[in-house]
Amino acid sequence: MLNEPNIHSAAHVDASVAYRKWIESKGKEKAYELKVRELVERTKLDAQWDGVTVPTTLEEYCLASRQQQSLAKSRHDMEAAMLLEGDDDYCFCADDDDEEFDDFDEMYEEADDEEEVVDCEDEGVACHRGDATGSASKTDVVANSSVQPSGGHNVPSTSSPGG
């Protein structure tokens, strides 16, 4: 409100009306001026309560801004120095985890190569052979669309259509 409020905003209609009247009366209407003074005093009390120093002149404002910038720069410099002081966890280079993922890929490719599908007696069933002996266990049997639920278990259907 100190520096020409946005009188076209619906955010604070009373302030807009008071400001317009103050401008039109060339400062004779005091409602806007009183409202601004009240807000300034309330802000000073809030700042004092919070332990904040509010600049009151342009010089104080500019000085505070420069001090904040230099403080922020020095904090940034200190953080960067701490990161670079030999802590290997913050290395910004290639990560060794990529090699670990490559090892996993190789293991799974080898497992896929060892497993092959063999024909079984029933047409709708494929048996996966997981070892070099060629034996397929009951857990290796995978049923296709001819599987029908029976008592909570999947049992391959051996009956032919119509009978």
Q: Per-residue pLDDT tens for 2-35? A: 566 676 777 778 878 888 888 899 988 888 888 8
C-alpha to C-alpha distance for 149 and 155, rounded to whole angstroms? 7
- Do 145 and 124 form a contact (C-beta atoms < 8 A)? yes
> Using one digit for the tens of pLDDT, what is the confidence trace for 76-98?
767 766 666 655 555 555 555 55
> Using one digit for the tens of pLDDT, what is the confidence trace for 32-59?
888 888 888 998 899 999 988 887 888 8
For the chain, give every domain's residue range: 1-54, 56-89, 113-156
pTM for the model stands at: 0.34
